[in-house]
Structure 1
Amino acid sequence: MSNLPFGFGPSDPDKRGENEPEGGGPGSGADAFNQLGQMLSQLGQMLSQAGSSSGPVNYELAKQIALQKLSSGGEGKIGFTGSGDSGAAVRDAAHLAELWLNAATILPAGAKTSVAWSARDWVQETLPTWQRLCDPVARQISGAWVEALPAEAKQAAGPLLSMVSQMGGMAFGSQLGNALAQLASDVLTSTEVGLPLGPDATSALLPANIEKFTEGLELPSSEVMVFLAAREAAHQRLFTHVPWLRQRLLATVEEFAHGIKVDTSALEHLAGQIDPSNPASIEEAMSSGLLEPKTTPEQEAALTRLETLLALVEGWVDVVVADAVGNRLPGADALRETLRRRRATGGPAEQTFATLVGLELRPRRMRAASALWKLVGDQHGMEKRDGLWSHPDLVPTAEDLDDPLEFSERLGNRAELDDLDPMAELERTRPPEDESDPDDPSS
């Protein structure tokens, strides 16, 4: 892991630059009193938020910090609300992309609605999924503090443990908020990191970020918008019509997080750095790196499975979009390569995710997966290629990415796939819709 999971890094790296004075610069007494007043006000707000937080991460605080940073950075002035020209441009691009995709895959359209999001929209719409991804990490880290304490220390600490837990939730929330603000300013679509972060069956593009991304590409903005809309729509087709995929991706991330082990041998030294009367000392101690998590063999196995599945998703999207776009967009090849490099090298989005969850979402083998999907499609047809998604046991493995020719040859000898109706199999594996209300005792 190149980056520490959240709780171990500085909560706001933008405010800890090289020019920051260590002892405070000269200023008037009025300035000092104003700063003290702001600090007390912020502390009061944080303590109020801590009292209402019931989990390992204070997500309300995270949302407030993220939205505040986006507003202070000018996002509120240039952001989009999904109405007007931006919303219409996204809907038009999505409609055209869906028409082209119909001829490139057997999977039907997955998005029921196409929307334009601002960065603020992205934070609010994806926060429920981030909660699912971040809670296991925070619980493991927070639990390490308490579990490592001797019984006598736990008894002596008493109410202090509850306060440490609340302050830990605030520290996590603060760092999460800053990270989400950075991520929201960079992502182009709701599925760019390879995970279904947004609401089901919703295709979302971020026009303001796309406009920044387009600068310097020497391509028409409308062409870039349609290409990205096609990628978003292809992702949505997979996540909607392959019932096991969404759960498998998120569960593998959770499995990785659950495997986090913390070296608590430094806990005694760490405890000496905490001043219960100074809430900031708790965050500083957590950010010191003394409780840096260690990667376990179980985590390595989960990471390999996740990277392979992400590569298969990204590789399939890459091939399908290339087939759909064809010669319709003159700059498609250049855009395809640009996005491949963006995903493979890891931009701010991947780096931020590594900080949040403790792993990198870089599909390192995306090119190999893309080559495999193209080979299968060329040799066996679109139906058999897409039919492999009908069951998790049918999709290629990491070993198959090493030898796509052998996989394609083996696929040709699998008689059970010759009679397979891919769409019927996908529908068969879809969980039945429960129309009853779980909160209604009569249902």
Structure 2
Amino acid sequence: MSLFRVVRAVADASGEGAVDWRAVSEAAKAATSPGSLALTDEQRAGYARDVEDARDRVRTVTGIGFDLPETVEVQHRHHWIDANVATFERVMEPLADEVGPLPGLARSMNSGTMAISLAFLANNVLGQYDPLLLAEGEPHKLYFVHPNIEKVARSLRVDAPRFRRWIAFHEVTHAAEFGAAPWLPGRLEAAMQEAIEGLGEGKLDREAMRELDTTMTAVEGYAELVMDRAFDGEYADLRAKLEARRRGRGPIARLMRRFLGLGMKRQQYERGKAFFDAVADARGVEAASVVWSDPEFLPTSEELDDPSRWLARVPV
């Protein structure tokens, strides 16, 4: 980490908008070690094998026909920042002109905040299915952040190839969801834009936030279900240790996770998985997959907490 480069990038933030995204990228990278991407031939082959095997198993277990994205990348942390800074810029576009009475100071503070957020995420993201929201016509992508996968496997004291493979099943399940539900990106984009525009008007659009949270709870909960039930190996120890990691962390990490809404993300994982576990236990994983066949079949917030209501409403 180069503190001088971080401060200089933020202090030199320029332009006319509320955030200088060039400065954000530079500062986030200066605050983050890229990590090693010196993969062995076996590791490279392992990623490819994991993704292909996950595709085949997820197709079989869920009954969903889908294809993998054309782009599947094994990245280091700086690659991940490059891939995501444009998404952050698109999402925050409705607030682009909200610079306030001291635009230079506000721009530097906003740019610094976004850089810290990206740097924290870059150090913690394991894999990402990227639907490139608000990027019309852009093909979806799939990323694995190799240094983080290796680091977390070591910290959890689990076999790195097995952990990597289990994570691949989670991310490939996202490909299945978006492949089965072409309406899903539009739904997420609409709720996201409404929420951001509300913030730009100085209000919290609770309905849009509720819609976004409910949809993402379904997206993450289904992926949690399938990564376990489609996985072709032992995963109970991985599940227990990963969930303990999500709940744990030191005070600074907990503060950052709260600031970035990652506590809500953990709740989405847990609440969504509990819903889909109940549905799959009652009717099977293929029945749970019906949720992606029609927007009307998404569970409501109330149904997420009472799966029997969804089972009574949806023909599975």
TM-score of the two chains, using structure 1 as the length reference: 0.60
* 1:387 paired to 2:290: yes
Tell me the SS of whatever aligns to 1:396. Answer: coil
- Match of 2:166, as an amino acid? F
Change (3 A) 1:359 1:220: closer
Q: CA separation in 1, counterparts of 2:131 and 2:16?
A: 26
Which one of the candidate residues 307, 326, 329 is aligned to 2:233? 329
Greater C-alpha Rg: 1
Taking the TM superposition and a 5 Å limit, the aligned residue runs for 1:159-170 are: 164-170=102-108
**Per-residue deviation, residues 394-422 of structure 1 (Å, max 9, x unmatched):** 2110111222123213334xxxx7xxxxx
Contact 2:94 2:200 in 1 (8 A): no
Change (3 A) 1:351 1:130: farther
* 1:92 paired to 2:49: yes
Q: CA separation in 2, counterparts of 1:390 and 1:396?
A: 12
Q: CA separation in 1, counterparts of 2:253 and 2:67?
A: 27
Which one of the candidate residues 295, 310, 313 is aligned to 1:407? 310
Q: 1:181 — aligned with what?
A: 119
- Tell me the CA shift for residue 61 of structure 1: 0.7
Which one of the candidate residues 108, 113, 116 is aligned to 2:71? 113
Gaps of 5+ in 2: none
Q: CA separation in 1, counterparts of 2:86 and 2:61?
A: 32
Taking the TM superposition and a 5 Å limit, the aligned residue runs for 1:248-327 are: 248-260=187-199, 296=203, 298-325=204-231
Q: How many residues align?
A: 310
Contact 1:231 1:321 in 2 (8 A): yes
Q: CA separation in 2, counterparts of 1:303 and 1:90?
A: 35
Between stretches 361-370 and 232-241, larger displacement belongs to: 361-370
Taking the TM superposition and a 5 Å limit, the aligned residue runs for 1:11-410 are: 42=8, 47=12, 50=14, 53-70=15-32, 75-76=33-34, 78-80=35-37, 86-107=43-64, 108-137=66-95, 139=97, 141-142=98-99, 145=100, 164-191=102-129, 196=131, 200-260=139-199, 296=203, 298-325=204-231, 328-330=232-234, 332-343=235-246, 352=256, 355=259, 361-410=264-313
Contact 1:310 1:363 in 2 (8 A): no
Change (3 A) 1:42 1:306: closer
- Tell me the CA shift for residue 359 of structure 1: 8.3
Tell me the SS of whatever aligns to 1:339. Answer: helix
Tell me the SS of whatever aligns to 1:204. Answer: strand
Change (3 A) 1:84 1:119: farther
Q: CA separation in 2, counterparts of 1:253 and 1:90?
A: 32
Gaps of 5+ in 1: 1-11, 16-34, 147-163, 263-292, 418-443
The structure whose RCO (Cα within 8 Å, separation 6+) is larger is 1
**Per-residue deviation, residues 288-310 of structure 1 (Å, max 9, x unmatched):** xxxxx7xx5x5333222222212
Q: CA separation in 1, counterparts of 2:94 and 2:206?
A: 17
Between stretches 78-87 and 365-374, larger displacement belongs to: 78-87
- Tell me the CA shift for residue 231 of structure 1: 0.5
Q: 1:437 — aligned with what?
A: none
Change (3 A) 1:171 1:241: same
Tell me the SS of whatever aligns to 1:302. Answer: helix
**Per-residue deviation, residues 78-121 of structure 1 (Å, max 9, x unmatched):** 33277855433322221222222121112223323322110000
- Tell me the CA shift for residue 226 of structure 1: 0.2
Change (3 A) 1:244 1:363: farther
**Per-residue deviation, residues 289-344 of structure 1 (Å, max 9, x unmatched):** xxxx7xx5x5333222222212111111111122211xx322x1222233345556
- Match of 1:242, as an amino acid? A
Contact 1:81 1:116 in 2 (8 A): no
- Match of 2:31, as an amino acid? K
- Match of 1:62, as an amino acid? V
Contact 1:242 1:390 in 2 (8 A): yes
- Tell me the CA shift for residue 258 of structure 1: 2.0
Change (3 A) 1:372 1:354: closer
Change (3 A) 1:403 1:361: closer
Contact 2:167 2:227 in 1 (8 A): no
Tell me the SS of whatever aligns to 2:142. Answer: strand
Q: CA separation in 1, counterparts of 2:131 and 2:212?
A: 14
- Tell me the CA shift for residue 235 of structure 1: 1.1
**Per-residue deviation, residues 178-229 of structure 1 (Å, max 9, x unmatched):** 32122111111124xxx74697432211111111111242321110010001
Contact 1:129 1:197 in 2 (8 A): yes
Change (3 A) 1:349 1:110: farther
Contact 1:80 1:86 in 2 (8 A): no
TM-score of the two chains, using structure 2 as the length reference: 0.82
